Amino acid sequence: MYEDIFKFWKRENESSQLEKLPPDFYLQVAEYLKKLREEERMIDRKTLKASLLRVEMRNVKRLVRQLIKVRYKKLMRCLAEGDKISYDSLAIHERNIIAKAEFSFANDFKNLFNNVLTGHFIDGSSGKTPKTVIVRFLKEVPAIIGADMKAYGPFKCEDVASLPLENANILIKQKLAERIEV
């Protein structure tokens, strides 16, 4: 696993584009680090093997930390420049973060625009946030009015959106969307 982590770290640092990660990459890394910690715990801390395990754990953590930072910067650049992000290149955890960020950002500005132009500006400092759920659409769905009286959609197959809980539950029951756990 160490060689794989190093390979992904090296490719990411040598490219200006976002490189493809396996969907479960972060889960694999977490399991690998857990295994190393358990192995180190089971042996005498004064042995050469224990010392090598500590060095390996430190190196893996450093590589993954740098990999995440580089990917974060590339993703932020894509978002800032309005470039399309290839979801195929992202690990599952990254997909969920980006989908939530993209939708929230676009939806918040759309709501700001609509509220200001209709004269129904709502002070965002109230602190109340409605319960929403992130869903991935399995089929095309036309635009809907959410339980919060905001417009959502239209949606294409594979689109990801954050919707009010009531609307998300209906779409899930109708097999038009599935819930994404963050």
The per-residue pLDDT string of the chain (182 residues; one tens digit each, 9 = 90 and over) reads 888 889 999 988 898 888 888 888 888 888 888 888 888 888 888 888 888 888 888 888 899 899 989 988 888 887 777 777 777 788 888 887 777 766 666 667 677 766 677 665 555 544 445 588 899 999 999 988 888 888 898 999 989 998 998 899 889 999 999 998 76
Query: Considering the entire predicted model, what is its pTM?
Result: 0.54
Pick the CATH number of 2-89 from 1.20.58.1030, 3.90.1150.10, 1.10.10.60, 3.40.50.11540: 1.20.58.1030
Alpha-carbon gap, residue 163 to 50, rounded angstroms:
49
Query: Domain spans of the chain?
Result: 2-89, 92-179
Candidates 1.10.3720.10, 3.40.50.970, 3.40.5.50, 2.60.120.260; CATH matching 92-179: 3.40.5.50
pLDDT at 127: 46
Query: Which DSSP helix (H) or strand (E) runs through 49?
Result: helix 48-81
Tell me, what's the pLDDT at 38? 84
Residues facing residue 132 across a β-bridge: 164
